[in-house]
Amino acid sequence: MTLDEYNNAVKQIMGEQQSIAQTTAQLAMTGKANPTSPEFTQIMAKQWSLVQQMAKLNTDLMMGVMSPKK
DSSP secondary structure string for all residues of 40-69: HHHHHHHHHHHHHHHHHHHHHHHTT-----
Report pTM: 0.82
Q: What's the rounded Cα separation, in Å, for the pair 15 and 4?
A: 17
| Amino acid symbol at 20 | I
pLDDT, tens digit, 9 for 90 and up, residues 6-41:
999 999 999 999 999 999 999 999 999 999 999 999
DSSP state of 30: T
pLDDT, tens digit, 9 for 90 and up, residues 34-57:
999 999 999 999 999 999 999 999
Rg for the chain, CA atoms, rounded: 16
The neighbour count for residue 9, using CB atoms within 10 Å, is 16
